[in-house]
Structure 1
């Protein structure tokens, strides 16, 4: 896309899959690698320079049929990023979490909810993004980093709604 820098992580050994993170060219950003235990197959990470500070921004995809090992890596990545100023976005397929009441049904969903709470992250997507489920996340290490979250119609032939929001950081 013209005017944007592309950060991507392709699935290895397979056609299709992976994640793409676009950041405007006018924003100073560079790709980063996380610790080995947190290096995920379907996650892209970037640091955005904002004046005298840095904001880590990441995009993750947690497939419904994810392996136990890859799921643990995504959880490790979320733990690592939660220790810095950061925003984590993505599709985590945890459709049985009630984010407004912080309740869940199902073991995997409860593990993810515990991870978010134990990492002191704020979830900003509180409305359904596919059918009646909240499958998408916008997590931040500081609640004030994310503002004006809007759930919009799906883009193209996607079955997931778009999420629009503003990232607020000091310049």
Structure 2
């Protein structure tokens, strides 16, 4: 896309899939790699420089059929990144109902909720993004980093778009 820098991580071993993040050219951003125990197959991490500070932005895809090992790596990545100013977004496939009630509060969902709480992250998407479920979420280390969240019509797939403003001091 003209005027944007692309950061991507393609799905390995099969056709299609992966994650892609576009950041405006006018914003100073660079990709970062996490340690091996936190390196996720379908996640990309960038630092955005905002004046005298840095905001880490991550985009994650968590398959509904994820293995325990890969799920643990996503959790390790969130633990690592949440120690700094951050926004973590993506399709987490946990099946959260609108209003924050889960259909089946399984063990993985409980672990994820505990991770978000223990990492002092705010979940900023409060409306359904696919059917009745909130599968796509935006987590932030500070609630005020994310403003004006809007759920919009799908754009070529079955998940709604999430539009929001990132607000940080420059």
Shift of 1:97: 5.6
Distance in 1 between residues matched to 2:148 and 2:4, nearest whole Å = 22
- Summarize the alignment of residues 12-161 of structure 1 with structure 2, pairs less than 5 Å apart: 12-96=12-96, 100=100, 105-156=105-156, 158-161=157-160
Distance in 2 between residues matched to 1:84 and 1:32, nearest whole Å = 14
Q: Report if the CA contact (8 A) 1:48-1:56 is conserved.
A: yes
- Matched residue pairs, number? 170
TM-score of the superposition, structure 2-length normalised?
0.95
User: Structure 1 107/98 Cα, relative in aligned 2: closer, same or farther at 3 Å?
Assistant: farther
Shift of 1:67: 1.3
Distance in 1 between residues matched to 2:144 and 2:100, nearest whole Å = 17
Q: Report if the CA contact (8 A) 2:89-2:137 is conserved.
A: yes
Runs of at least 5 residues in structure 1 that lack an aligned partner in the other structure = none
TM-score of the superposition, structure 1-length normalised?
0.94
With 120-129 and 99-108 compared, the bigger mean Cα shift is at: 99-108
Shift of 1:36: 1.4
Shift of 1:102: 8.8
